[in-house]
Amino acid sequence: MKRIRRYLVAGILVWVPLGVTSALVYFAIGFTDKTLLLIPEQYRPDVLFGFHIPGLGVILAFIVLLVTGVLAANFVGRAFVGGWESLMERIPFIRTVYSAAKKFSEIVFSDSSQSFKKVLLIEYPRKGLYSLAFQTSTDLGEVQGRTGEEVVCCFVPTTPNPTSGLIIIVPRKDVTELDMDIDEALKMIISLGVVVPSWRNGKTPELPLELPKEIE
């Protein structure tokens, strides 16, 4: 029975990651294929070739994003985008959603932003318990002024779905910056802590906890 169980576990470890990856890739390709609807029906690949070719939407989505970026980067494009954003900001409810989505996109995808670039360790939900968090902001304006000390805004994700969570404002002195990358932290969160990234402890000059002998 132990041997059968070992074989079953080995089979699960092969097929579960493959199945999850395939499902996500299939969803992504199916979603991007929706961009083919931008093409007039008589010119769509399904009509021209007589059959569906998965993945063509990815190429079209890439081209649309690239062309949009080129146009938005020049003078005429910036003027058009500015006018569009001005219109969005005048529509009740729409302006709230649009401005929040735009700000979030700028924070996450901008290389100059420090948001979601650092993995932090904070004591949450109480002293003595630790949670992984992502740094989202260090310039907190009134919040920092009211607290009278340097604070950091942290996003604490839930597991196994890291897209939901809550923000916590923590004093800088109570935050420990970790060496692990964002994707490593996400793997640990999604796997419920089963997948633990290897520690490149050469980066950390001072450690608050005593190292195990095998690490030392």
Looking at the structure, tell me whether residues 62 and 135 fall in a common domain.
Answer: no
Residue ending a domain, choose from 70, 85, 109: 109
Domain count, the chain: 2
| Mean per-residue pLDDT over the chain, rounded | 81
CA separation for the pair 39, 24 (Å, rounded): 25
The pLDDT-based confidence of 177 (bands split at 50, 70, 90) is very high
pLDDT in tens, 126-175: 999 999 999 988 888 888 889 888 999 999 998 888 878 899 999 999 99
Mean pLDDT of 164-193: 90
The answer to whether residue 208 sits within a structural domain is no
The pLDDT-based confidence of 202 (bands split at 50, 70, 90) is low
Q: What share of the chain has pLDDT > 90, as a percent? A: 18
Looking at the structure, tell me whether residues 29 and 99 fall in a common domain.
Answer: yes
Looking at the structure, tell me whether residues 99 and 139 fall in a common domain.
Answer: no
pLDDT in tens, 14-37: 888 788 888 888 888 888 888 888
The pLDDT-based confidence of 54 (bands split at 50, 70, 90) is confident
Q: Which residues are 151's β-sheet partners?
A: 171
CA separation for the pair 178, 190 (Å, rounded): 18
Cα distances (Å, whole numbers) of residue 162 to 6, 105, 109, 134, 165 = 31, 17, 17, 11, 7
CA separation for the pair 113, 138 (Å, rounded): 11
Looking at the structure, tell me whether residues 188 and 98 fall in a common domain.
Answer: no
Looking at the structure, tell me whether residues 88 and 156 fall in a common domain.
Answer: no
Looking at the structure, tell me whether residues 105 and 129 fall in a common domain.
Answer: no
Domain of residue 56, residue span: 2-109
CA separation for the pair 94, 85 (Å, rounded): 11
The answer to whether residue 207 sits within a structural domain is no
The answer to whether residue 133 sits within a structural domain is yes
- pTM for the model stands at 0.55
* The predicted structure's pLDDT at residue 5: 86
* The predicted structure's pLDDT at residue 137: 83
Q: Which residues are 120's β-sheet partners?
A: 133, 177
Instruction: Please give the radius of gyration of the chain, using alpha carbons only, rounded to the nearest integer.
Output: 24
Looking at the structure, tell me whether residues 24 and 102 fall in a common domain.
Answer: yes
The answer to whether residue 164 sits within a structural domain is yes
Residue ending a domain, choose from 60, 80, 109: 109
The answer to whether residue 214 sits within a structural domain is no
Looking at the structure, tell me whether residues 190 and 158 fall in a common domain.
Answer: yes
* The predicted structure's pLDDT at residue 214: 44
The answer to whether residue 35 sits within a structural domain is yes
Looking at the structure, tell me whether residues 53 and 123 fall in a common domain.
Answer: no
Residue 115 pLDDT more than 80?
no
Sheet strands (E) in the chain: 119-123, 130-137, 151-157, 165-171, 176-177
pLDDT in tens, 78-99: 787 788 888 888 888 888 888 7
The pLDDT-based confidence of 216 (bands split at 50, 70, 90) is very low
CA separation for the pair 177, 154 (Å, rounded): 11
* The predicted structure's pLDDT at residue 85: 81
The answer to whether residue 75 sits within a structural domain is yes
* The predicted structure's pLDDT at residue 169: 93
Residue 201 pLDDT more than 80?
no
CB 124 within 8 A of CB 134: no
The answer to whether residue 215 sits within a structural domain is no
Residue 117 pLDDT more than 90?
no
Looking at the structure, tell me whether residues 102 and 123 fall in a common domain.
Answer: no
Residue ending a domain, choose from 56, 81, 109: 109
Question: Tokens 């904070």 identify what position?
Answer: 122
Looking at the structure, tell me whether residues 171 and 89 fall in a common domain.
Answer: no
CA separation for the pair 57, 212 (Å, rounded): 51
Selection from 167, 197, 176, 170 nearest residue 185 by Cα: 197
